[in-house]
Structure formats: structure tokens, C-alpha cells
């Protein structure tokens, strides 16, 4: 069910900080300055699905309840926002309790400074210590079937877009503006290895975190990194993906959450060691006690004001694809679940991007925001558009990294009139953000009214 609530605010000003007003498409103050007063921080506030959208099939319900019964739960806690976490013995996740050792925690390439000095995002478990489980346990978010939108099969529920077997357009080698046939929209920068060259072993950057308008259950707004083994002659696409998103169908609300996703089958199938979100199937091994897949993130960025960002790194280390958020490695995917000629050894592609998708059951173009819902615009982008800054990639198995740079034709948007992307790889010695991209947009607008794949 799509809403016109977004358009009721057109032309209305919102107070975002003392002396700083933001109109629908215009920044009134300069870079959110507010006469020295601090900008308003947007704290998390869960917005549940409409009761009419809380639909779940008996197959999905039985699947979720069966998985929960098999966890070996040590304790269950509820955060002050009402989210339920089951705490399991960390060693119970792998045979023999052989949990991997994460890479060393080194200092990331962070020189925020400049005209916009963001603060670090936190998880709801960090904000609510009373909801922590016993020592030696790690959290697993309970996906309550009474709150989600999953009317189809388990395969649909576990899939990337709620419809099993679909391939996202960012893996298709077609220049924009193209109609990808799936209703997926991307604004991205990607790096692909030369067929005769060495592969990649990780990627990282700082993502500012937003609460985008995305209130259709099967539509999402995402900012992420994807490490992949793509375009192999015989193997299906394989990925490790992580970032933040709003996706009501699997989360039961429209809050911003940390997520991980993987596929070993080119998105064709999902399930244990095949692919899926978070810990809804086997594959992911959880290590952190405060940051976990599906956890709510708080606070989020403000248009024209305070920016909140998340340092995110994916790194291959000792046969495991580790995911780090801020100063902690959250968990990993064993490289052994991938092909040895695939992500079992290295990656061939690194993608940094924003993404939305259009629910095909509705006749109009999606109204879901990508990022902040604003197009990237030179001069005000650091406080208005979604960004990924201090981009780097890991080029050697020993952890050596370098600044991210890619060809102009690898910085592209599926439909730039709906969502766009700009890159700044100039490496100005005076710019502490180094390599960076900006992306986003509102979806439906006067220049973007035709829904994919129904465009003429």
C-alpha cells in the first residue's frame, strides 16, 4: 500500500536546528549552520507496518518458529523499543565451537574533519545495556511472524527482494539509463578486476545513515557494499553484502537497520548455505554482542544538519569473510561456503551503492527514497545527500589497502532522473574524505513517473 504522506509535506519547512530551515528541495542555511546551536538528532522510533500489511503464510510461520526452537536459546531479552533478542552460546554456531579469530582492529582511514564532522551510529543494544544477554552469548534478532509481510513461500521470504529467483540489476553489465526488467534501481561505483589480474580481498568506507521514506513492505532503501565473484564462465554470482537498509517485509517496521546478505547461487535460490538475509538461514556466524544483523541503528542523519555515519569493512581473513562496523568485527561468512574458484579464495568485483526497488504489484512508480531522498548536488552534498567516504579496497591477502578509484563508466545510475550518483576521486590533499561518492533521490518526481519495467 503506497502513501501520499510524503507529498503532504511539499513546500512545508521543517525545523532541523536552531536557525536552520530546510525546504523540500532547498537548503536555506549554509551547510546546516545554526548559530552555534547543535543540530537536532533523529533518534530511532520504530514505525510498524500497517496492520493490513502484516500478512504471513503458514509455511513461513512454521519455518521461523522451527528455526527458533533449534537455536538452543540461553536467554531472551526485549529492548526498550520492543525488539526481541534470543541469546545463544557463541560456540554453538560452528562444529566443535571453532569460532574464527577476527583480523586485528587497526585504525581505519578516517580523517572526517573539514566542514562536516559526523558522529558514529550506535546499535539499540549499545543504547540499552539492560537488554544484554549473559556472558558467552551472542544476540539473534527474533523475526516475529505476526509483524512481518511474507505472504509467499519460504523461498520468497529468504530471497533478496521477496520474490525468489530474481537477479538484481547491479550485476548486469548494461550502461544506464537502462530498464533492467526487475524494478531495481541502483546508484553505484564499482571496481572490476582485469581477467588476468589479481583479485580483491575486501572493501570499506564510511556510510552516512538515514531514515528514508520507504513505507511499502516489499520496497527497500539500501546503502551497502557488495564484494562479489561475478561474471565467472561457469560459476553463479557469489556475494558478501552488508550495509544499512529500511525493509518492512522482513523487519516488521520501517526503521533503519544493519543488515548482511549473501548468495552462493546467483540469487536463484536461498536457504542454508545458499543465501539470504541476516540469520534467517545458516551461513552467518555472529561474534559481536552489541551489533548484530537486523539490529536497529540510532541516531540517523539530519538534512542540512548533524551527520551520523557508520564505518563498514568487509575483509577476507584466514578463510572467513569478516564484516566490521565501527570498532568491532560483527561476524563472518566462512569462505568454505563459496566455490574455491570464487569467493572461496578472492573477489573479482567491489560495489559501493544505494538501491531501491519498485513493488511490481502497484501500478505507479516507487515513491521510496534512496538515501536521504535528495539528489547529490555539488556544494551541499555533505549534509544533504547519502555519501560513502574514505573509500578503500583491499588488494592483498595480508590486509594491505589503498584508495578506491574506478573508471568513469563504472560510476552510474540505473535511471538518473529517479536516483543519481556523483563521484569525487580527485584525492585533493586538503580533502580529508579522500575517495567518496554521493547518491540518492526521491524516486517518483516530475521527471520520473514511469514505473520499471512498464516504461515504453
Does the N-terminal peptide bond of residue 299 adopt cis geometry, omega within 30 degrees of 0? yes
Distance CA 380, CA 377 (A): 6
Task: Name the strand (E) or helix (H) holding 119.
Answer: strand 119-120
Asked whether residue 89 is assigned to any structural domain, the reply reads yes
Mean pLDDT of 246-274: 96
Distance CA 359, CA 184 (A): 9
Asked whether residue 39 is assigned to any structural domain, the reply reads no
Looking from the CA of 395 toward its CB, the CA atoms found within 13 Å total 12
Residue 127 gets which letter from DSSP?
Answer: H
Asked whether residue 43 is assigned to any structural domain, the reply reads no
Q: Which of 119-128, 195-204, 301-310 has the highest mean pLDDT?
A: 119-128
pLDDT of 361: 78
Distance CA 432, CA 419 (A): 26
Mean pLDDT of 40-63: 87
Among residues 247, 202, 215, the alpha carbon closest in space to that of 355 is found at 247
User: Which residue range(s) make up the domain with 339?
Assistant: 49-440
Helices (H), 76-224: 124-127, 154-158
pLDDT of 234: 78
For the chain, how many structural domains are there in total? Answer: 1
**CATH classification of the domain holding 217:** 2.60.120.200
Asked whether residue 138 is assigned to any structural domain, the reply reads yes
Whether residue 455 is predicted with pLDDT greater than 90 in this model: the reply is no
Distance CA 391, CA 110 (A): 10
439 pairs with which residues across the strands?
386, 421
Does the N-terminal peptide bond of residue 269 adopt cis geometry, omega within 30 degrees of 0? no
Whether residue 274 is predicted with pLDDT greater than 90 in this model: the reply is yes
Asked whether residue 33 is assigned to any structural domain, the reply reads no
Asked whether residue 24 is assigned to any structural domain, the reply reads no
Average pLDDT value for the chain: 85
Asked whether residue 210 is assigned to any structural domain, the reply reads yes
Asked whether residue 222 is assigned to any structural domain, the reply reads yes
The pTM of the full predicted model, rounded to 2 decimals, is: 0.88
Mean pLDDT of 271-283: 97
Amino acid at each position: 500500500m503506497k502513501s501520499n504522506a510524503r507529498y503532504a509535506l511539499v513546500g512545508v519547512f521543517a525545523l532541523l536546528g536552531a536557525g536552520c530551515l530546510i525546504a523540500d528541495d532547498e537548503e536555506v542555511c549554509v551547510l546546516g549552520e545554526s548559530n552555534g546551536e547543535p543540530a537536532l538528532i533523529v533518534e530511532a522510533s520504530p514505525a510498524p507496518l500497517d496492520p493490513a500489511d502484516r500478512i504471513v503464510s503458514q509455511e513461513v510461520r512454521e519455518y521461523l518458529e522451527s528455526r527458533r526452537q533449534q537455536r538452543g536459546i540461553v536467554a531472551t531479552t526485549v529492548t526498550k523499543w520492543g525488539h526481541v533478542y534470543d541469546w545463544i552460546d557463541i560456540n554453538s554456531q560452528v562444529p566443535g565451537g571453532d569460532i574464527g579469530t577476527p583480523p586485528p582492529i587497526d585504525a581505519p582511514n578516517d580523517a572526517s574533519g573539514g566542514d562536516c564532522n559526523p558522529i558514529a551510529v550506535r546499535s539499540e543494544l549499545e543504547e540499552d545495556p539492560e537488554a544484554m544477554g549473559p556472558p558467552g552469548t551472542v544476540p539473534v534478532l527474533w523475526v516475529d511472524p505476526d509483524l512481518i509481510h511474507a505472504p509467499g513461500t519460504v523461498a520468497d521470504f529468504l530471497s533478496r527482494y521477496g520474490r525468489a529467483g530474481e537477479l538484481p540489476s547491479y550485476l548486469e553489465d548494461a550502461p544506464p539509463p537502462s530498464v533492467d526488467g526487475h524494478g531495481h534501481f541502483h546508484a553505484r561505483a564499482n571496481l572490476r578486476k582485469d581477467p588476468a589480474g589479481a583479485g580483491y580481498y575486501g572493501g570499506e568506507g564510511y556510510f552516512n545513515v538515514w531514515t528514508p521514506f520507504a513505507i511499502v513492505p516489499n520496497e527497500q532503501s539500501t546503502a551497502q557494499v557488495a564484494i562479489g565473484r561475478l561474471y565467472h564462465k561457469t560459476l553463479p554470482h557469489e556475494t558478501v553484502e552488508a550495509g544499512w537498509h529500511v525493509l518492512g517485509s522482513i523487519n516488521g517496521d520501517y526503521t533503519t537497520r544493519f543488515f548482511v546478505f549473501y548468495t552462493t547461487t546467483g540469487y536463484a535460490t536461498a536457504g542454508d548455505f545458499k543465501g539470504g538475509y541476516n540469520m534467517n538461514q545458516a551461513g552467518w556466524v555472529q561474534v559481536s554482542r552489541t551489533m548484530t544483523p537486523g539490529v536497529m541503528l540510532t541516531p540517523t542523519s539530519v538534512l542540512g544538519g548533524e551527520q551520523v555515519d557508520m564505518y563498514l569493512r568487509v575483509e577476507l581473513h584466514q578463510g572467513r569473510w569478516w564484516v566490521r562496523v565501527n570498532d568491532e568485527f560483527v561476524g563472518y561468512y566462512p569462505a568454505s561456503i563459496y566455490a574455491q574458484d570464487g569467493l572461496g579464495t578472492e573477489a573479482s568485483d567491489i560495489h559501493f551503492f544505494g538501491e531501491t526497488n519498485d513493488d511490481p504489484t502497484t501500478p505507479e512508480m516507487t515513491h521510496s527514497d534512496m538515501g536521504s531522498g535528495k539528489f547529490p548536488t555539488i556544494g551541499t552534498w555533505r549534509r544533504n545527500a547519502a555519501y560513502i567516504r574514505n573509500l578503500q579496497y583491499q588488494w592483498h591477502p595480508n590486509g594491505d589497502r589503498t584508495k578506491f578509484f574506478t573508471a568513469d563508466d563504472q560510476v552510474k545510475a540505473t535511471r538518473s532522473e529517479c536516483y543519481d550518483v556523483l563521484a569525487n576521486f580527485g584525492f585533493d590533499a586538503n580533502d580529508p574524505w579522500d575517495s567518496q561518492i554521493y547518491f540518492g533521490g526521491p524516486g517518483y518526481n516530475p521527471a520520473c513517473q514511469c514505473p520499471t519495467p512498464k516504461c515504453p
